[in-house]
Copies of this chain bind each other. A is one copy, B any other.
Amino acid sequence: MSTIKEVAKRAGVSVGTVSKVINNIEVKPKTKQAVELAIKELNYQPNVYARGLKVSRTNTVALILPTVWHPFFGELAYNIEKNLRQHEYKMILCNSEGDYLTELSYLTMAKQNQVDGIIAITYSDIEHYVSSNIPLISIDRFFNDEVPYVSSDNFLGGQLAAKHLDEAGCQSLCFIGAGSKKENTTRNRKKGFIDYCEKYQKTYEIFDLIGSQSEFHEKMEQFLLEKIIKEHSIDGIFAVTDAYALEVINFLEKHQISIPDDVQIIGFDGVKSSKHDQIEISTIRQPIEEIAKESVAAIIHLINKETIEKEILLPVHFIQGNTTKRQKDS
């Protein structure tokens, strides 16, 4: 049986280069061809075990998310697994529940080649541990310029929400949001909303409670009581998520505010708790299928050591529900 030295000699490269090719480490395409040809011609059998140690492709990708027991993450996990399967990858699921040690253990697995790559939705403090030497795709969160991320176009979503409230006849708009400083891509929903209002000179108000979830409900209800129940000075609301939109709706209906007649509301996410579920509130739907598809395509490119875009923004769409008026032209 021929040796790696003979292969190197025939291909006119160093033994190290042959080893790189065997172990799927990037070399010039021409070099790769030459080595592969030599391997074929000499019928060279690399030491499978040694190779196993180095290459150790597991054909598995780990999906880290807070919990799959949630409509949005459930739909996302479903679609990511579906796409991975089409590429003959298995999906290892990790419900981190935001526990950063659990998340780190998966990063370690990737470093040790126990998984080929990771797709992660995480909001915990792992910035210092993620780096370009781990095949990692981040969804909805920007870590640093080295870590590619896939996200809905939140800015566009904010613009669309304002646009639809405007076209549905709302006179004074309002953004209602809250959240941790970390969800920086989500922040863009507000920016897009403001951008539209400024551009088209719509009067608008911003209610945004950053970092203090606890007092959110009380503060929001005070705000709605003041602005809507008393002053009637708001007739169009864009809530940063469907969950917040539902809270606003419940509160206003308790106070005999009719939706969409008195106040129109648009949420964000458009999650469905199962495939055949109906979306009832008007919302900006995240392109979950596309997020899954693009994340999987990206992680596989990374695993294959191909270069990819660092930021993949996917378009969102308005979905007409029963919390905004249908427009004549639509």
Instruction: Report the stretch among A7-15, A92-100, A299-307 that lies at the interface.
Output: A92-100
User: Per-position contact with B for A15-41: 1 when CB-CB < 8 Å, else 0?
Assistant: 000000000000000000000000000
Q: Provided the pairs A49-B52, A52-B49 are in contact, do residues A95 and B71 lie with their beta carbons within 8 angstroms? A: no
Oligomeric state, in copies: 2
A92 to chain B, nearest CB (A): 5
Q: Which residue of B lies closest to A274 (CB)?
A: B70
Select which of B52, B77, B91, B273 is within 8 A of A273 by beta carbon.
B273
Residue of B with least CB distance to A47: B49
A74 touches which of B74, B79, B102 (Cβ 8 Å): B74
As a 0/1 sequence over residues 54 to 87 of chain A, the CB contacts with chain B under 8 angstroms (1 = contact) are: 0000001010000111110011011101100100
Interface residues of A in 249-284 (CB under 8 A from B): 273-275
Interchain CB contact (< 8 A) of A69 among B77, B90, B102 = B77
Q: A70 and B74: CB pair below 8 A?
A: yes
CA distance A231 to B94 in the complex (A): 53
Known interface pairs A69-B274, A75-B69; A92-B92 also in contact (CB < 8 Å): yes
Closest Cβ of chain B to A213, distance in Å, is: 13
**Can you name the residue of chain B whose Cβ is closest to the Cβ of A73?**
B74
* A68 and B71 form a contact (CB under 8 A): no
Known: A49-B49, A49-B52, A274-B69. A94 touches B81 (CB 8 A): yes
CB of A76 to closest CB in B, whole Å = 9
Residues of chain A from 95 to 118 with CB closer than 8 A to chain B in the complex: 95, 102
Query: Taking CB as reference atom, which chain B residue is nearest A82?
Result: B95
> Complex formed: what's the CA distance from A102 to B91 in Å?
14
Q: Please judge, given known A-B contacts A71-B273, A74-B69, whether A93 and B93 are in contact too, CB under 8 Å.
A: yes
Q: How far is the CB of A104 from chain B (nearest CB, A)?
A: 14
Within 8 A of B (CB), among A208-225: none
Residue in B closest to A114 when the chains form the complex, CB atoms: B90
**Contact residue among B68, B70, B90, B273 (Cβ-Cβ distance under 8 Å from A81):** B68
Chain B residues positioned under 8 Å from A85 (CB to CB)? 94, 102
The verdict on A93 contacting B91 (CB below 8 Å), with A69-B74, A69-B274, A78-B69 known, is yes
Shortest beta-carbon contacts, A-B, top 8: A49-B49, A69-B78, A273-B273, A74-B74, A93-B93, A69-B74, A70-B274, A69-B75
Q: What are 13 A-B contacts defined by CB distance under 8 Å?
A: A48-B49, A49-B49, A52-B52, A60-B92, A67-B275, A68-B77, A68-B78, A69-B78, A71-B274, A81-B95, A82-B95, A85-B102, A93-B93
Given contacts A62-B90, A69-B77, A93-B93, 10 further A-B contacts (CB under 8 A): A49-B52, A67-B78, A68-B93, A69-B74, A69-B78, A70-B275, A77-B93, A81-B95, A85-B102, A90-B92
